[in-house]
């Protein structure tokens, strides 16, 4: 019996057909025993044929512990310029988008996280995932760890939701290169021990009517209140499209 932990990889998909073949290759290429890996693709509200393409991709995961594909639509559309949380337009459409994301993540936790030791949220727009990324994140043995997300060819961090009150993410990376750094908030794309969910941390959708907050930050606050600590792995870099 392996002493390595089992992991559920959760991927939310919307209009990501352009990157799905690459993404599948990236996660299949992870240097980790496939019999310890489960994966769930939760697709919703795509207009580019993402769900149909995912059905063609699923056989690639036949040697994994488990592989799931589900479609869950909200009938929600948002203009492309509002997709990035760091732009934060103060309005009900962006707030509804974040509430929907929180609901989707909680749905994955409730339905698909079974006996796995960890849940790793992988973005459908990841372009390059190093083969050792998962093993490196697990090696820290922390409750919640997020990798450093960058755009290919750019030095600044793509993820603007992960930070510390006294220092933004770019300063954290410069100050603590190739280290594990405790942070105050993290975005959703972290690897999280299952026990964090089992003791009550969840992706709440009770957003304040006047404040837009990324669902990862909401989760971080709840987890911290239960005694868990979030960390940024500045030496584990994943590239976004």
Tokens 């690459």, residue located: 22
Q: What digits encode the pLDDT tens for the residues 164-183?
A: 999 999 999 999 999 999 99
Q: At 207, is the pLDDT very low, low, confident or very high (cuts 50, 70, 90)?
A: low
Give the global pTM.
0.92
What is 7-240's CATH number, 3.30.70.260, 3.30.1330.10, 3.30.1490.20, 3.90.550.10? 3.90.550.10
Q: What percent of the chain has pLDDT over 90?
A: 76
Do residues 154 and 207 lie in contact, with contact meaning Cβ atoms separated by under 8 Å?
no
209 burial (CB, 10 Å; 0-12 / 13-18 / 19+) is exposed
Q: Is the pLDDT of residue 17 over 60?
A: yes
Q: What digits encode the pLDDT tens for the residues 75-127?
A: 766 554 444 444 444 466 777 788 889 999 999 999 999 999 999 999 999 99
Do residues 118 and 4 lie in contact, with contact meaning Cβ atoms separated by under 8 Å?
no
Query: How far is it, in rounded angstroms, from Cα 126 to Cα 122?
Result: 7
Strand residue runs (E) in 61-210: 66-71, 118-121, 126-128, 144-151, 180-182, 191-193
Nearest to 12 by CA among 103, 140, 130: 103
Q: What percent of the chain has pLDDT over 70?
A: 88
Q: What digits encode the pLDDT tens for the residues 39-52?
A: 999 999 999 999 99
208 burial (CB, 10 Å; 0-12 / 13-18 / 19+) is exposed
- Mean pLDDT along residues 149-160: 90
What pLDDT sits at residue 97? 82
What pLDDT sits at residue 212? 53
Q: At 206, is the pLDDT very low, low, confident or very high (cuts 50, 70, 90)?
A: low
Q: How many CB atoms lie within 10 A of CB 103?
A: 15
């Amino acid at each position: 019996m392996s002493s390595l932990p089992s992991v559920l990889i959760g991927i939310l998909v919307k209009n990501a057909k352009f990157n799905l073949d690459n993404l599948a290759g990236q996660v299949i290429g992870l240097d980790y025993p496939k019999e310890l890996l489960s994966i769930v693709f939760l697709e919703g509200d795509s207009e580019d044929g993402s769900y149909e393409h995912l059905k063609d991709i699923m056989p690639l995961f036949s040697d994994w512990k488990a592989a799931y594909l589900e479609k869950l639509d909200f009938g929600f559309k948002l203009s492309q310029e509002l997709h990035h949380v760091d732009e934060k337009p103060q309005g009900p459409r962006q707030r509804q988008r974040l509430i929907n994301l929180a609901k989707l993540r909680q749905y994955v936790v409730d339905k698909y996280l079974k006996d796995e030791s960890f849940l790793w949220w992988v973005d459908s727009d990841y372009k390059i995932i190093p083969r050792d990324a998962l093993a490196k994140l697990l090696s820290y043995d922390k409750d919640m760890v997020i990798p450093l997300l960058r755009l290919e060819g750019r030095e600044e961090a793509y993820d603007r939701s992960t930070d510390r009150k006294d220092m933004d993410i770019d300063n954290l990376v410069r100050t603590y290169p190739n280290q594990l750094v405790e942070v105050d908030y993290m975005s959703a794309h972290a690897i999280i021990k299952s026990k964090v969910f089992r003791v009550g941390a969840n992706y709440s959708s009770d957003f304040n009517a006047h404040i837009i907050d990324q669902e990862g930050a909401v989760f971080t606050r709840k987890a911290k209140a239960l005694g868990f600590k979030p960390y940024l792995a500045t030496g584990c870099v994943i590239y976004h499209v």
